[in-house]
């Protein structure tokens, strides 16, 4: 296949490009480096099946086809990034989605949208199933991200119903691994950064809120399977192994052998108290479930960060 990928220099996007190329496909990659990093795709520069173009997909653009698939993966994804760039986040979920859909329609290509578990908000249903409509504050500080993704899903399905767009929608739960930015505010790089430096590990709230963490290679495998499926409605992709934030902080500290204390700060507004995917649909339709254990995934992630952070454990 020939695949157009937005957000290609991002954490997940760059790993997706790796997988597509490994499978023998050709990739045309787009990113404006708002939150993506050039070094995430630098290793692909000499691959003849990889073409990179610096492009803001919220602006109209043209790329030479044909394409068999279009993957819209561009968006700030960490709380720090989308709170600093709320307008850009809303723009990429609206205008960016429109422009990538238009590229898919022009080429009669499959369109895959990477959405998010944030569509469920602070959920009243646990674990979260795809049929749950969510509990989202539309005017809260996180709404720029939540609503941009909810709008993107609605926009995608409108084009499916009116124009027959071949849609694939992935609702991604907490994902971690190499190429995450240490300063992006997400829990995995934040805890690793603090533990490696021997600094106190900051837990927001009392640490009883839960998350489930999926290693990036597992997520990318799910996305690849979804791309090749016929499922037009949202599919959860994440690891159903649930743990509290406090337990996760302790696991990080113990794995590194750090003496970091765990300190507690006030919980941010609208921070979800529970987050765990029901992946029955992914198991049934895609034959997919995570394979990388938390221990192995964290070890691989620690190795990636060792060169950037002095270890003072």
Judge whether 225 and 288 are in contact, CB under 8 Å.
Answer: yes
Q: How far is residue 124's CA from residue 114's CA, in Å, rounded to a whole number?
A: 23
- CA-CA distance, 298 to 291, in Å (whole number)? 13
Contact in structure between 21 and 49 (CB atoms under 8 Å)? yes
Q: What angle do CA 272, 174, 235 make, to 5 degrees?
A: 95
Peptide bond into 127 cis (omega under 30): yes
What residues are labeled active site? 145
3-state secondary structure of 219: helix
**Is 252 buried (19+), middle (13-18) or exposed (0-12) by CB count in 10 A?**
buried
């Amino acid at each position: 296949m020939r695949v157009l990928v937005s957000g290609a220099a991002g954490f997940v996007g760059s790993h997706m490009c790796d997988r597509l190329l490994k499978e023998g496909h050709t990739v045309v990659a787009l990113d404006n480096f708002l939150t993506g990093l050039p070094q995430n795709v630098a290793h692909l520069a000499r691959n003849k099946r990889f073409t990179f173009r610096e492009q803001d997909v919220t602006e109209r653009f043209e790329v030479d086809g044909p394409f068999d698939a279009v993957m819209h993966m561009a968006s700030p994804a960490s709380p720090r990034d989308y709170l600093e760039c709320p307008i850009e986040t809303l723009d990429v979920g609206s205008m960016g989605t429109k422009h990538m859909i238009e590229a898919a329609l022009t080429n009669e290509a499959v369109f895959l949208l990477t959405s998010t578990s944030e569509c469920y908000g602070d959920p009243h249903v646990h674990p979260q199933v795809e049929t749950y409509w969510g509990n989202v504050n539309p005017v809260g500080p996180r709404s720029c991200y939540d609503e941009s993704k909810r709008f993107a899903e609605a926009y995608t399905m409108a084009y499916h119903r009116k124009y027959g767009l071949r849609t694939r929608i992935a609702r991604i739960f907490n994902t971690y691994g190499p190429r995450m930015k240490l300063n992006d505010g997400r829990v995995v790089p934040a805890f690793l950064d603090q533990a490696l430096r021997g600094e106190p590990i900051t837990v927001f709230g009392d640490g009883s809120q839960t998350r489930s963490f999926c290693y990036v290679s597992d997520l990318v495998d799910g996305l690849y399977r979804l791309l090749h499926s016929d499922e037009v409605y949202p599919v959860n992709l994440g690891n159903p192994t649930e743990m509290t934030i406090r337990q996760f902080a302790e696991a990080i500290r113990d794995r590194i052998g750090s003496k970091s204390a765990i300190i507690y700060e006030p919980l941010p507004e609208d921070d979800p108290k529970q987050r765990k995917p029901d992946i029955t649909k992914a198991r049934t339709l895609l034959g997919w479930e995570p394979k990388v254990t938390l221990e192995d995934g964290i070890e691989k992630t620690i190795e990636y960060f060792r060169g950037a952070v002095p270890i003072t454990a």
